[in-house]
């Protein structure tokens, strides 16, 4: 590679200063020239803007009134100078080779929308493990059928010009639920090509309880409804729907990825996630 592309790393944050500091410490260890990337943190109206403690890393801190991560990412992107926008979250810790792995694919095509591999950093937390394993299943399901369906916004890189031309994240998503899926669909319809980059690794440390696990997946259901409505309003072709085999394989997926009693726990949590998602979807549909 003769020339390394420049990146603007955009991180929305909300009342998680300790986790943000861990994220920034990881970014300070990136194996990438410092003059080829910048870090932009957008505080989503927490009331106490963060003061990064990583002296070895220059960080631009922006603030907004509380409007959700989609709006925060757009604010960061508006100030970004990089050729690529690299999005991650304040509870994520990119590994040292993250940007170099993304750079290889970025150089291969100006229309490439890149998604890296996210791994659960909290292996002892069954709810966090189930959530990450569910995302792994969705990635593998789509890959087996010829391509990526979407990439999660905690490990996503988009050409800045393409992102701006397509309007960025839809700020009608007030929660971290569905806005990445909708963006990827819109970028793909606009000519972008989704490319999975497994060597671009981010460790995700999002501690969950049973109540927070249920709420997270119910919110995914709420976001899914908005995705469907935006797709229809854009005149996008409606697919054939999700086949029953998807759900059968989804519930069985943990059996091939875990051992002992943990297999049963994760299988039960997979099933629960689908109940929560359906509940969130239909509650939102009846409410709006």
Residue-wise pLDDT tens digits, 85-112? 999 999 999 999 999 999 999 988 888 9
> Of 171, 180, 177, which is closest to residue 148 (Cα–Cα)?
180
d(CA 43, CA 248): 40
* 199 Cβ contact list (under 8 Å, min separation 6): 97, 101, 116, 117
Q: Find the helix or strand (DSSP H, E) in which 120 lies.
A: strand 112-120
Low-confidence residues in the chain, pLDDT < 50: none
Structural domains of the chain ordered from first start:
7-287 (3.90.550.10)
Q: Can you give the pLDDT at residue 88? A: 98
Query: How much is the pLDDT for 142?
Result: 84
What is the pTM (predicted TM-score) of this model? 0.93
Separation in Å, CA 58 to CA 5, 34, 125, 169 = 19, 9, 33, 25
What does the block give as tokens for 144?
């087996």
Say if CB 29 and CB 51 are below 8 A apart: no
pLDDT in tens, 219-241: 999 999 999 999 888 876 655 56
In contact, 37 and 67? CB cutoff 8 Å: no
């Amino acid at each position: 590679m003769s020339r390394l592309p420049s990146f603007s790393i955009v991180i929305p944050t909300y009342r998680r200063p300790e986790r943000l500091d861990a994220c920034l410490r990881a970014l300070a260890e990136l194996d990438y020239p410092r003059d080829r990337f910048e870090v932009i943190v957008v505080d989503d109206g927490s009331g106490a803007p963060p003061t990064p403690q990583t002296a070895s890393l220059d960080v631009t801190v922006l603030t907004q009134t509380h409007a959700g991560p989609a709006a925060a990412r757009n604010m960061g992107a508006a100030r970004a100078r990089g050729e690529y926008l690299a999005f991650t979250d304040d509870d994520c810790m990119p590994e040292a080779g993250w940007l170099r792995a993304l750079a290889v694919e970025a150089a291969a095509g100006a229309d490439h929308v890149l998604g890296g591999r996210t791994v659960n950093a909290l292996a002892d937390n069954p709810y966090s493990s189930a959530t990450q394993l569910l995302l792994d299943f969705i990635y593998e399901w789509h890959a087996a059928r010829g391509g990526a369906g979407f990439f999660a916004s905690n490990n996503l890189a988009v050409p800045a010009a393409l992102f701006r031309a397509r309007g960025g994240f839809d700020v009608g998503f007030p929660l971290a639920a569905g806005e990445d899926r909708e963006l990827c669909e819109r970028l793909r319809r606009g000519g972008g090509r989704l490319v999975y980059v497994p060597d671009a690794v981010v460790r995700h440390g999002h501690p969950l309880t049973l109540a927070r696990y249920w709420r997270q997946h119910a919110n995914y259901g709420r976001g899914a409804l908005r995705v469907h409505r935006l797709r229809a309003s854009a005149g996008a072709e409606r697919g054939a729907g999700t086949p029953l085999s998807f759900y059968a394989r989804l519930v069985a997926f943990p059996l091939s990825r875990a051992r002992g009693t943990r297999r049963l726990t994760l299988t039960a949590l997979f099933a629960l996630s689908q109940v929560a998602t359906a509940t969130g979807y239909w509650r939102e549909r009846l409410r709006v």
